[in-house]
Amino acid sequence: MSFDNDQSKAAMWKKEKYFNGPLILPWIIPCLGILLWIIVSKTEVVPGYLLPRPLEIGKAGYSYIFGEAGGGPYAGRFLADLGSSTVRVGCGFALAVLLGLPLGIASGRLPYVHELFSNSINGLRAVPGISWLPLAMIWFGIGMKTTVFLVALAAFFPIYLNSAAGATQVNPLLLQAGAMMGVGRVRGTFAILLPAAMPHIITGLRLGLGISWAYLVLGELSGVPNGLGAIIMDARMLGRTDFIVVGIIVIAVIGRVSDRLLTVLLRSCFKSARRLN
């Protein structure tokens, strides 16, 4: 009898996992969006030159990703564009982490650091990213440096603010207890402060990485010859709406994949991150 009960419980758990759990839920909205897209295309509520049909997008995406170079517009450019954009995002995001994380932690724990940076950072983060583009082009020219600067600038603010919020909310009693047990300030920072602030830190890193991909497009609109954002700009000039949509979808997918990789990396490196759901 107990064996049968165990089997029934396992079957119910499997059913809940596949139909009510995380495997099916994330795909509901994308599937509904594609269904709505097909209906709009079939009924021609929106003209095809404004919103191409899914089949046309699929053909353009296949050509862009799997096509041979020279076989059509943008055919076979995906790997080169992905490589260029990934390097730019990676460099800008890494720079933002190197600056934003320690400054945020220091600002959250040291009042004089918070007072020193508070007005400047809150003022600068209100400036639209597009406003920095002309100045960045004057400073760094057209190319990787401009894109890295814009990505780093955009990713810095959520990383800094969330790190500061996480450090501020750490209970001082935890640090005092560590000091009573002989834990020094440096060791306490890594053993007590950072694990306690980890939920906010992870949120800041994920937001910063997502914004990095958004500002990548802004940086590559400056006229770089390759990149996921460059193809969107070039397709706009040629009136190829299908490749604009392909570029948007590719960036969305790559952004989601990079977010998952970041989460997995953090959980594999930090025990405090593994304890989070």
Q: Is the pLDDT of residue 135 over 70?
A: yes
> Two tokens at 126?
């209100």
> Two tokens at 22?
């995380």
Predicted confidence band at 193 (pLDDT cuts at 50, 70, 90)?
confident
The residue whose two tokens read 């004057």 is 138
Q: Which of the residue ranges 77-81, 139-143, 192-196 has the most confident prediction, judged by mean pLDDT?
A: 77-81
Residues in CB range of 191: below 8 A, 6 or more apart:
178, 183
pLDDT at 140: 87
Query: CA nearest 125: which of 96, 102, 105?
Result: 96
Question: Does residue 129 contact residue 150 with C-beta atoms inside 8 Å?
Answer: yes
Burial class of 82 by CB neighbour count within 10 A (0 to 12, 13 to 18, 19+):
middle
Query: CA nearest 247: which of 212, 206, 202, 216?
Result: 216
Buried b (16+ CB within 10 A) or exposed e, 160-179: bbbbbbbbeebeeeebeebe
52 vs 55: CA distance, rounded Å: 8
- C-alpha angle with apex 99: 227 to 192, nearest 5 degrees? 125
Q: Is the pLDDT of residue 50 over 50?
A: yes
Question: Does residue 137 contact residue 200 with C-beta atoms inside 8 Å?
Answer: no
Q: How does the average pLDDT of the chain come out, rounded? A: 83
pTM of the model: 0.82
Could you report the per-residue pLDDT of 238-260, keeping only the tens digit for each? Answer: 888 889 999 999 999 999 999 99
